[in-house]
Amino acid sequence: MPSASPSEQVTYSISELAKEFALTTPAIRFYEGEGLLYPQRAGQRRIYAERERVRIKLILRGKRLGLSLSDIRELLDLYQATKGERAQLVKFLQVLAERRAMLNQQKEDIAIVLTEIDALERQCRKRLRAGTNGSA
């Protein structure tokens, strides 16, 4: 359960965020090590604010889209650097266009391979119908 400090800022433990996003605590620590999250510290304990919660949500969305952690970091850092979303949105559109182009190329490659598989299957079935028994 999220907790609120005296200033009413909601905070989360690493376990709470792990449970909410179906992640392991080592995964969250990994994202921290990669410079994607910056929790506050209270001794050895990590204290995550709403900012980190939102960043985890964005990291997972980026991963679902197939973005690399470096792409995700760049987008998150860009938002921080510009204190607004315009530059981030422009960059995100560029990253999405690149991702779309790559997926379309993969889709085309898959279609070609499936066509080759279809042709090989037809050849094999034709040979089986012709009575080829596999002996040389």
Q: How many CB atoms lie within 10 A of CB 77?
A: 13
**How confident is the model over 24-61, as pLDDT tens digits?**
999 999 999 999 999 999 898 999 999 999 999 999 99
pLDDT of 133 over the 80 cut: no
What pLDDT band is residue 8 in, cutting at 50, 70 and 90?
low
Tokens of 131: 């009575």
pLDDT of 113 over the 60 cut: yes
**How confident is the model over 79-94, as pLDDT tens digits?**
766 666 787 788 888 9
CATH class held by domain 1-56: mainly alpha
Query: What is residue 34's three-state secondary structure?
Result: coil
Tokens of 65: 């889209």
Cα–Cα separations (whole angstroms), residue 73 to 21, 61, 89: 19, 13, 14
Distance CA 119, CA 114 (A): 9
- Locate the domains of the chain by residue range: 1-56, 65-136
What pLDDT band is residue 6 in, cutting at 50, 70 and 90?
low
Distance CA 32, CA 26 (A): 10
CB 55 within 8 A of CB 76: yes
Distance CA 16, CA 23 (A): 10
Q: Can you give the pLDDT at residue 4?
A: 59
